[in-house]
Amino acid sequence: MGHGHREESDALSIRSATAADAAAVAAIYGPVVASTPASFETEPPTAEEMARRMDATTSTHPWLVAEQQGQVVGYAYVAPAHTRAAYRWSVEVSIYLGEHARGRGIGGALLDDLLERVRATSFVTVRAGTTLPNDASVRLFESRGFALVGIFHKTGYKLGRWHDVGWWELVLSDDPGPPRP
């Protein structure tokens, strides 16, 4: 086996998430919620709650999982950026990786696949919020063309301190014309 090649069993596959993935998604997200400021939730959601969240948006907004050796190692999705109707062409991206999947290019693979699917829809703008500091997330989003549009200072209090959130934006079309349904 040459350098830079993976064993077939180690190959990464990315696919649309299903309700059957909810437990694996909750297992990845739970430790992030419980012990980091990367999510401003404070109680890890159950598998049932993750299934409900997925079901609420997967008909219109992509949810993906990354698998290696038959195990879900990360996930990514876009969700409505806001509930008001005029915002419906803007989405917010989220990516979470299991602890052992970080720093291996899996987040980039998920984001690339997700953006390809988003570009095939009527969405016009993708945004990403990241608790700061988070150099890995900043590098990931900026490497895919996202631009920093602002920082909300001391916007969330978790784990005994205040946290800033940076917001990045990717406009998919310079002249989208009238919105498609």
Phi-psi region of 117 (alpha: psi -120 to 50; beta: other; left: phi over 0): alpha
Q: At what angle do helices 106-119 and 135-143 cross, to 10 degrees?
A: 40
pLDDT of 144-174, one tens digit each?
Answer: 999 999 999 999 999 999 999 999 999 998 7
Percent pLDDT > 90 in the chain is 78
Q: State the pTM of this model.
A: 0.90
What is the mean predicted confidence (pLDDT) over 31-55?
Answer: 95
- CA 46 – CA 56 distance, rounded (Å): 15
- The token duo for 2 is 């040459």
Indicate the DSSP class of residue 46.
P
pLDDT tens digits, residue range 117-138?
A: 999 988 999 999 999 999 999 9
The pLDDT, as a whole number, for residue 3 is: 47
Res. 6: pLDDT tops 50: no
